[in-house]
Amino acid sequence: MKRIFDSTSRALLATLMTALLVIPSVSVAKNLVEEPSTGEMVLDAVVARPILLVATVAGTAIYLVTLPFSLAGGNAGDAGEALVVGPARSTFVRCLGCRTSGRQE
């Protein structure tokens, strides 16, 4: 009896996991339009942007220090994306008060 339950539960789990991978997420399909409030814009300008600027500068410094190792490992592009481009995009290419990076359309 235990073997039947194990094989049935494994088959059900595999089916559910496959369905989760196949079914597209609704949030990915939608274009997110944010309309931040004045308070969110002020907090973003006074708190978040300076912190993100420091994170961008620190990430650039870390990237430059670790660049020889990244080049040797073949992942300099990934390291640059994670340490420099991501924080820079959040700092400079984001509407004031928005939570997601990128330009609003």
Domain contains 72: yes
Q: What is the pLDDT of residues 59-104, one digit of tens each?
A: 999 999 999 999 999 999 999 999 999 999 999 998 898 888 777 6
How much is the pTM?
0.64
Q: Is residue 86 part of a domain?
A: yes
Ramachandran assignment for 61, one of left (phi > 0), alpha (psi -120 to 50 degrees), beta (any other): alpha
Owning domain of residue 88: 28-92
Instruction: Please report where in the chains the tokens 């290419």 appear, as a residue.
Output: 93
Residue 11 lies in a domain: no
- Number of structural domains the chain divides into: 1
Which pLDDT does position 62 carry in this prediction?
A: 96
How many CB atoms within 10 Å of residue 94?
20
Report the 10 Å Cβ neighbour count for 87: 21
- Residues 9-41: pLDDT tens digits? 776 666 656 655 555 554 454 556 778 899 999
Strand partners, 102: 94
CA 100 to chain centre: 9
- In a domain, residue 8? The reply is no
67 membership: H or E segment, kind and range: helix 49-73
